[in-house]
Chains A and B, each alone.
Chain A
Amino acid sequence: MAILNVIEAITHALDLEMSRDDRVVVFGEDVGFEGGVFRATVGLQEKFGVKRCFDSVLAESAIIGSGIGMAINGLIPVVEIQFSGFMFPGYNQIVTHAARMRNRSRGRFTVPMVIRMPYGGGVRALEHHSESLEVLFSHIPGLKVVIPSTPYDAKGLLLAAIRDPDPVIFLEPKRIYRAFKQEIPDEDYTIPLGKAKVIKEGADLTVVCWGAMVRDVQKAIEPLEKEGHSIELIDLRTIAPWDKDTVIESVKKTGRIAVIHEAAKSYGPAAEIITAVNEGAFLYLEAPPKRITGLDTIVPLPKGEHHYLPDAQYIAQELKSVLTF
């Protein structure tokens, strides 16, 4: 057992998988020598050599596009995009090729690669460093989108992502990179993609969230539970394909749902989840479903960012309105 934070758990998973499978190659901007700006790949170049862990040129299209070629030709690239806001030059490659290669070649060519990127706000960053863009990937057929919320999950989900035969977008909530530590088994384990985690069971309300918001939500539901409300808390873990069954079954039991995310509200992931609930459990609903999300604005620079993210108190107030509807 090691006690690790999220970023250390990611390093640990990469190390483990590079040792186990020599097809795994890790690269990206500043990833090799320095171990990445967040130090997720620290020590890997030293251990596995510059061929398997290297600094790429500063070009996201090159990182992802060449990764696709490597994947087709037998390697398993795990690439890092320094911040998710900078994936756009590479988005073209993700959408036009990574996501479609299997379909286009009727299964002959596949792209078993992982594209890791830190995402999300609350770290007082410059422009383009704070967005939650999970929906831009989740809307694209052929991609899987994974978001861990704990060190334990980060390891298990990343190992599963690397072993997945399709392209996986692995979004890392940077706000909790170093926020807390957890005991993690040293051995190999995976957490299946597409499977949500019921953090706690409850009877009155289903709350769905992921990533850094999980901790805020946990804080928010504490006083509500003390007041006697019973809340079922679900960490989606995989945004695409998402675990519809677990959520719908939960709503059938509780009759109420709220979805909480950092991403902007309109056309955000909550819209999809609530629509599916309407389709699958409409007659069980006792209150209108609720979205508690970021604003439909550009994430403000630090001096305005407090307006953007729903905090625990705001979440609690909104959840209360669903519970007492």
Chain B
Amino acid sequence: MYFKSFNPLDGEQLQIMNEHGEIIRDDLMPDISDEDLIEMYKTMLFSRVIDTKTLQYQRQGRMLTYAPNLGQEATQVGTIAATRSTDWMASAFRELGAWLYRGAPLYNILLYWYGNEWGMHMPEDVKILPVSVPIASQLQHAAGLAYASVLKGEDDIAIGYVGDGGTSQGDFHEALNFAAVMNTPNVFIVQNNQYAISTKRSQQTNAATIAQKAIAYGMPGIQVDGNDIFAVYAATEEAVKRARSGGGPSLIECYTYRLGAHTTADDPTKYRDNEEVEQWKKKDPIDRLKKHLIMKNLWTEEKDLEQIENYGQYVKSTFEKVENSGLVPLEDVFDYHYEKRTPELERQYQERKAYNSSIGS
């Protein structure tokens, strides 16, 4: 119903909750239990605390390059909450909220950004692929995951994430085209945060919306207010239902904003003005949902502060563990290219080991 009523070619955007946390389209409200909604809110808050503290650690020289998610929490949590835990997820690198909601341990996530491959070794029941650094390539995997699911007679779907910049890549087009032709159970999420590093969305595509690109592939597309968790959830839920019931893939453009830097190596003040950022701060997805929850007596400011404090402590102690994880041992560098070390890898390993002990390291 959402996809039909909000045609991206007409420039329509699905919004259910306004910037003050008020429901402006009661008729469109998705059915989310209070319990789930609080879980979603808490995950968004957790994500924000992680970002904030990690950025501090980075500035203190304790953390390597990090890609913050500030401002995109509703897009991430709202989409993943509409899937179930047996569904596959293929993400890029800026999907912290979705990873957390899926149960990715904070220790793993921080360890990854800390420069250790073990970070991406997630627990068996967390069906997310490792971070994909090459832009848009992961959507092809999402298409394959979904196709395999059908062939195996399972009804798990695959959700794939990409940024607005990523929609320029051949891989984006190829994945969507493959999925549409093969009628795979996919949901493709574009986190349109308006910038690919310094390049504005308007320089990335000449189309009025990214959602409308779906039409050319022969799949439904919709643009949603990415800072409105209800809109994000509602559209994703419909797309997931369609995918699971054999109706094929969909494209959802979450219209949102990256409040922070692209990564800690980037200085966004060089390419965007403060006024723009301030405007978007007013649409902060977390504030918005908090206001809504408080209005519904599901949350309080006191609880909020308490939760932030608890999360802060947890991030602190987890990060300290990460910091104490030390360097990666030599074996680790050799052991995961093949099931068994090849003779040549074994030779190189022994050589390095001998060298290391000769210099006493």
Contacts and interface: CB of A to CB of B under 8 A. Distances in A.
B204 A304 contact: no
A23 B93 CA distance: 38
Interface stretch (A106-114, A120-128, A182-190, A234-242): A120-128
Nearest to A297: B333
Given A57-B203, A317-B355, A303 B271 contact: no
Given A34-B197, A303-B115, A304-B117, A297 B134 contact: no
A296 B135 contact: no
Given A30-B198, A265-B348, A313 B359 contact: yes
B4 to A, nearest CB: 31
B114 interface: yes
B320 to A, nearest CB: 16
B198 A34 contact: yes
A306 interface: yes
A34 B271 contact: yes
A58 interface: yes
B84 to A, nearest CB: 29
Interface in A279-306: 295-298, 300-306
Interface size class of A (residues with CB under 8 A): 35 or more
A298 B199 contact: no
A33 interface: yes
A307 B348 contact: no
A95 to B, nearest CB: 15
A124 B116 CA distance: 11
A304 B270 contact: no
Interface in A14-44: 29-30, 33-34, 37
Contacts of B270: 34
Interface in A182-206: none
A176 B348 CA distance: 27
A295 B348 contact: yes
A183 B197 CA distance: 33
Most buried by A among B93, B169, B358: B169
A297 B345 contact: yes
Contacts of B165: 57-58
Interface string A263-281: 0011000000000000000
A126 B204 CA distance: 24
A154 B29 CA distance: 60
A159 to B, nearest CB: 27
Contact of B170 (A33, A59, A266): A59
Given A300-B117, A300-B333, A307-B333, A59 B199 contact: no
Nearest to B172: A59
B328 A300 contact: yes
A180 interface: no
B300 interface: no
A266 B347 CA distance: 12
Nearest to B66: A126
A191 B345 CA distance: 39
Contacts of B171: 89
A307 B330 contact: yes
A60 B196 CA distance: 14
Interface in A126-183: 126-129
Contacts of A124: 64-65, 115
A298 B130 CA distance: 16
Contacts of B348: 265, 295-297
Given A61-B170, A303-B115, A128 B197 contact: no
A34 B266 CA distance: 10
B160 interface: no
A126 B266 CA distance: 15
Given A29-B197, A295-B352, A307-B352, A301 B169 contact: no
29 contacts: A29-B196, A29-B199, A55-B198, A55-B199, A55-B203, A57-B203, A57-B204, A58-B168, A58-B196, A59-B170, A85-B133, A86-B134, A124-B64, A128-B133, A266-B344, A295-B333, A295-B352, A297-B345, A301-B116, A301-B117, A301-B328, A302-B64, A303-B114, A304-B115, A304-B116, A304-B117, A304-B327, A307-B333, A317-B358
Interface of A: 29-30, 33-34, 37, 55, 57-59, 61-62, 85-86, 88-89, 124-129, 265-266, 295-298, 300-308, 313-314, 317
Interface of B: 64-65, 93, 112, 114-117, 131, 133-135, 165-166, 168-171, 196-199, 203-205, 265-266, 270-271, 325-328, 330, 332-334, 337, 344-345, 348, 352, 355, 358-359
Given A297-B334, A303-B114, A307-B330, 11 more contacts: A29-B197, A58-B165, A59-B169, A59-B170, A89-B134, A125-B65, A126-B93, A295-B352, A301-B328, A304-B115, A305-B115
Closest A-B pairs by Cβ, 6 of them: A302-B115, A304-B328, A58-B165, A57-B168, A34-B198, A301-B115
